[in-house]
Amino acid sequence: MYRYDEFDARFVRERVAQFRAQVARRLDGSLTEDEFKPLRLKNGVYLQLHAYMLRIAVPYGTLSSRQLRQLALIGEKFDRGYGHFTTRTNMQFNWPRLRDVPEILDLLADVEMHCIQTSGNCIRNVTADHFAGIAANEVEDPRPTAELVRQWSSLHPEFDYLPRKFKIAVTGDARDRAVVKAHDIGLRILRSKDGEVGYEVMVGGGLGRTPMIAKTIRDFLPKKDLLAYLEAILRVYNLEGRRDNKYKARVKILVHEIGAEEFARQVEEEFAKLDGPSIAADAQEVARIAAYFAPPAYETLPARSLAFEAAKNENRAFATWASVNLFPHRVPGYAAATISLKAIGEAPGDITSDQMRAVADLAERYSFDEMRITHAQNVVLPYVKKDDLFAVWEGLVAAGLATANAGLITDIIACPGLDFCSLATARSIPIAQALAHRFGDEKRQLDIGELNIKISGCINACGHHHVGHIGILGLEKSGQESYQITLGGDATETAAIGERLGPGLAADDVPDAIERIVNVYLARRTSGETFIEAVRRLGLEPFKTAFQEKTHAAA
Amino acid sequence: MPLLDRTGLRDDIWVRSEDGASGAEHVIVGFAYLDAALAGNGRGRKIGVAIANDVKASALEPYLEQVELISIAFPNYGDGRGFSIAKQLRALGFKGVLRAHGPLIADQFAYALDCGFDEIDLPDSVALRQPIEQWLAMAGTISHTYQRGYGAQNILDARRAARTTV
């Protein structure tokens, strides 16, 4: 993984000193609260319902054991002994004190981490496929691109006061696991007919109150042109994006209002004026970054591990976990293991400091010292020898992290919701917990198969409900929490926005409604057909009918 | 209104006069009056122009050799359009003075300079809270940034230099 050189290290230290000075200037009155607010947000400090919240960047979701141990320490020393992974692969602490923040930033800098641009109207933490470097059909590891963009976007003089936040995601695979089409810019690495590697550039995706699927504005952008092209896109957005209404300020609205063709024309016009080579990182710099993401020192192993097969035969729980939580690795004899942070009854994405240390130890011993955080709020050990999987699983069992539900109905994405967030209109976590209890039976989950439920506690859609196979949106209706259910959303390369099934439900009625939807699938699926495939084949109607029986019963 | 640049506070020799009626030697006129001011400028006055931040840089292109100063409005510190306009004007070859006009904060000084601004024309309300020492200090807090082509020392070129000297 990437390591800071002297320049990166100095940059982050200088930013910490700058933030410390900004806090001091707020306290002595040099900065008004209004002036200070964007400065603290751009350093990840939010004011939440009960306390300050600190959001720490985990660039493209990659963490080392040392970094995770430091997060464990911060959680213990400055929070309540746990942290929370978000849908943008960052870590949030919900209970730090403002006066401790500069000290926390120093501790982060010690392990090459920071909170730069994890909030505010600027370019946010860059995300990427969590199976980067592992998936068999990947054209190229997306992380060198993501790291280049991370550096380029850090404290960008021109693009730090944008109309609104701006999110970039990168995938190196035609199979999209990074939800790139729901980002302001989605980059897909691909190979041209001539074999040249470049990018498909998609712009204007986003969730929130006006969900949009990104449009392709460039089918193939040569790699060397990336930074100049990003500069052109951001300049057009900075100049033309709406600033009269914060709910219409995202680039998706600009793309929608002027049309993708016109937006592309403006970008190309600006791009044509730029002197690409004077903006681009030179080939040696690109190679320098890429070298950090070279494959680890894999052993040559047979594809089939006798130890793994034997352990599965002897231990049914392990066999189940292995059948659900493993992802095939391109290198024979290895697997990527998903550590579910969705234990039944726990808050999705939460992890205690003790669990962080347990995961860090396992990664150090069995996964070349590396982890990935996923947008689904789980952790991946990317490089585990099949021979070692049983030992890893035993370690996870001991840490309470061996839940076998990756990709299943209880692997629910949920935002912090009204339990923590000052924007929320309803609770998310208790809904996720109730659904996990309802569907937690292992046999039943496995029978239902792949099904993504995503829950947001307000219209801002941090819980990605629009792209959940089943989406749940919590609103407030005359003082009561009310939950709208959507169906048919898709977060992959076939991205789609879910459609509403009917009127909102009370919190207590949500599990029954979801169960009715699931029962329609179970009754009508054909052999091997997944939930989302059945929804596409059957259409909304049969689900709507079952759902509305529920709402009438509730009324 | 205090005027400051990367060296500190300075006197403002320019007079803002929307329609150019002022008899001053250095006059900043509104964009709508620029043609008239330039046409009627028989006696060699220095002409500058003030623009709102929704004016396109390309609209100023015909005037870049004729005006000595362009003042770009920042209606509030959160509106970053002026940074892009400045960058575009420099790319178009404007060599005169670029002035940011409005309630920027000291924390944005480095950005303004890096995007091509020379000076900030600051309202008293901000200058009272944020004296010049803060502006000069904030301008230097980040010694190297990651973007090429933005004035400040950049890390990419520093890395390149380090490679070639090794």
**Chain B CA closest to residue A249:** B79
Interface ipTM above 0.90: yes
B108/A161 CB distance under 8 A = yes
Mean pLDDT of the region A154-170: 98
Specify the pLDDT at position A553.
57
Question: How many residue pairs bridge chain A and chain B with CB atoms within 8 Å of each other?
Answer: 116
Residue found by looking up tokens 């400028």 in the block: B41
- What is the architecture, at CATH level 2, of domain A428-554? 2-Layer Sandwich (3.30)
- The CATH class, in words, for A6-110 is alpha beta
Q: Report DSSP state, residue A8.
A: H
**Domain A306-398: which CATH number of 3.40.640.10, 3.40.50.720, 3.40.980.10, 3.90.480.20:** 3.90.480.20
* CB within 8 Å of A58: residues ≥ 6 apart: A85, A89, A90, A91, A113, A125, A373
DSSP per-residue letters across A96-158 = --GGGHHHHHHHHHHTT---TTSSSSSB---EE-TTTTTSTT-SS-SHHHHHHHHHHHTT-SS
- What is the architecture, at CATH level 2, of domain B3-165? Alpha-Beta Barrel (3.20)
C-alpha to C-alpha distance for A127 and A210, rounded to whole angstroms? 21
Pick from A11, A152, A158: which is nearest to B87 by CB? A158
- Side-chain-facing half-sphere of A211: CA atoms under 13 Å: 26
pLDDT of A550 > 70? The answer is no
Would you kindly state where each structural domain of chain B is located, as residue ranges?
3-165
B83/A158 CB distance under 8 A = yes
Interval A337-382: pLDDT, tens? 999 999 999 999 999 999 999 999 999 999 999 999 999 999 999 9
Q: Hey, do A133-291 and A428-554 end up sharing a CATH topology, with the first three levels equal?
A: yes
A131/chain B closest Cα distance in angstroms = 27
pLDDT of A551 > 70? The answer is no
Would you kindly state where each structural domain of chain A is located, as residue ranges?
6-110, 133-291, 306-398, 428-554
Interval A249-292: pLDDT, tens? 999 999 999 999 999 999 999 999 999 999 999 999 999 999 99
Interval B8-50: pLDDT, tens? 999 999 999 999 888 899 999 999 999 999 998 777 899 999 9
A161/B83 CB distance under 8 A = yes
- What is the architecture, at CATH level 2, of domain A133-291? 2-Layer Sandwich (3.30)
C-alpha to C-alpha distance for A201 and A186, rounded to whole angstroms? 6
Interval A334-349: pLDDT, tens? 999 999 999 999 999 9
Which of A169, A177, A241 is closest to A200 using CA atoms?
A169
DSSP per-residue letters across A28-97 = TTSS-HHHHHHHHHTTTEEE-SSSEEEEE--GGGEEEHHHHHHHHHHHHHHSSSEEEE-TTS-EEESS--
Mean pLDDT of the region B106-134: 97
Q: Which residues of A touch B108 (CB under 8 A)?
A: 161
C-alpha to C-alpha distance for A93 and A45, rounded to whole angstroms? 10
**Chain B CA closest to residue A161:** B80
Pick from B84, B134, B158: which is nearest to A25 by CB? B134
* CB within 8 Å of A458: residues ≥ 6 apart: A415, A417, A421, A423, A424, A425, A426, A473, A474, A475
How far from each other are the two terminal CA atoms of chain B, in whole angstroms? 50
| Phi, then psi, of B145 in degrees rounded to 5 | -115, 180
B110/A157 CB distance under 8 A = yes
